[in-house]
Structure 1
Amino acid sequence: MAKLIYAATASLDGFIAGPGGDMSWLTEHLGGANPTADRLLARTGAILAGNVTYGGDDPNRGTDSEGAFGGEYDGPVVVLTHRPPDDAPAGVEFATDLATAVDRARTLAGDHDVNVLGADVAGQCLDAGLLDEVLMFFAPVLLGAGTPIFRRPGGQQVRLERLPGETEHWCRVVR
């Protein structure tokens, strides 16, 4: 079964987006070789994203690098939303509940994994016991405010253990 992996780039003070969902801060920190991101991309068979993330700011908007993984990802996307549009773009499906969205993303991923995008959806997956791994990249910037890595008001402590042979910020969720 496809693993659910929450991967994001955060500021050193723990924000994945600035105030109002601003992602422009990330632009100067993108580019260059990143073997860990390349391994994640190779494992990704589908993306599960929240509606805010799906319709949000892209630090590469208007360039050849627009989209997930700097424009390198070309595969199915499942968007979790309470308000699906009447028409979905090619390669994008919408689901109105977490279980359906996860099941569909796992099916679409086939023998690969599902990359979870968005702090809210990642928190929902974690709370439902569905999240398998967390991979964080950190940019050398302090944003001061914005969207935290996880949004889990009242959430409980979650144990993580580092994956052997991987970067120290790629961890398995301990159940």
Structure 2
Amino acid sequence: MATLLYSATASLDGFIAGPGGDMSWLTPHLGAPNPTADRLMAQTTAILAGAVTFGGDDPNRGTDREGAFGGQWSGPVVVLTHRPPAQAPDGVTFTDDLHHGVELVRAAAGDGTANVLGADVARQLLAARLLDEVLLFFAPVLLGDGTRVLDVPGGTQVLLDPVPGETEHWYRVRYPDAPAG
């Protein structure tokens, strides 16, 4: 069964997008060799994204690297939205139901990784206890405002166990009442 992995690049103060969803802050931090990101790209077999992320800003807009994973992504995408377009782009499925979206993306991902893009989708998956892993990259910048990695006012603590062999901030999600391991 596919692993649901929330991945994001954040500023050191914990924002994945600037005010208004601005992603231009990330542009100067892209392009450096990153073996973990390369491994992530190689094991990702489907994407689950929120509507804001899917239709939002792209730090590579207007370049040949525009799109998910710097324009390298080609594969199935499931988008969670309450306002699907009349015509879906090729390879993109829209749904307004979280559990149905998870079923669709797991089926599309097979035994690979379904990469979760978007803080709100990650929040919903955690609340439904469906998220398996979290991978965070950090860029050396302080944004001061924007979209947080995860924003759950009044939320409950979520435990994270380091994924063995990884040097980045890559963790398995452990829900409070689940045993460690």
Under TM normalisation by the shorter chain, which class is it?
A: over 0.9
- TM-score (norm: length of structure 2): 0.95
Judge conservation of contact 2:23–2:59 (CA < 8 Å) in 1.
yes
SS at match of 2:120: helix
Judge conservation of contact 1:95–1:101 (CA < 8 Å) in 2.
yes
SS at match of 2:106: helix
Unpaired segments ≥5 residues, structure 1: none
Unpaired segments ≥5 residues, structure 2: 176-181
Structure 1 range deviating more: 40-49 or 150-159: 150-159
Letter paired with 1:2: A
Inter-partner Cα distance in structure 2 for 1:110 and 1:20: 35
Deviations 1:142-164 (A, max 9, x none): 00000000122221010001011
Inter-partner Cα distance in structure 2 for 1:117 and 1:156: 21
Does residue 145 of structure 2 align to residue 145 of structure 1?
yes
Task: Give the match for residue 121 of structure 1.
Answer: 121
Task: Give the match for residue 81 of structure 1.
Answer: 81
Runs of 4 or more above 2 Å deviation? none
Deviations 1:42-63 (A, max 9, x none): 1111000000000000000111
Count of residues in Structure 1 that have an aligned counterpart in Structure 2:
175
SS at match of 1:94: strand
Task: Give the match for residue 179 of structure 2.
Answer: none
Judge conservation of contact 1:122–1:131 (CA < 8 Å) in 2.
yes
Judge conservation of contact 1:7–1:136 (CA < 8 Å) in 2.
yes
Compute the RMSD of aligned alpha carbons. 0.8
Judge conservation of contact 1:162–1:168 (CA < 8 Å) in 2.
no
Task: Give the match for residue 98 of structure 1.
Answer: 98
- CA deviation after TM superposition for structure 1 residue 111, in Å: 2.1
SS at match of 1:27: helix
After TM superposition, the structure 1 = structure 2 runs for residues 1-175 of structure 1, keeping only pairs within 5 Å, are 1-175=1-175
> Between the two proteins, what is the percent identity of the paired residues?
71
Judge conservation of contact 2:137–2:168 (CA < 8 Å) in 1.
no
- CA deviation after TM superposition for structure 1 residue 89, in Å: 0.4
- CA deviation after TM superposition for structure 1 residue 168, in Å: 4.2
- TM-score (norm: length of structure 1): 0.98
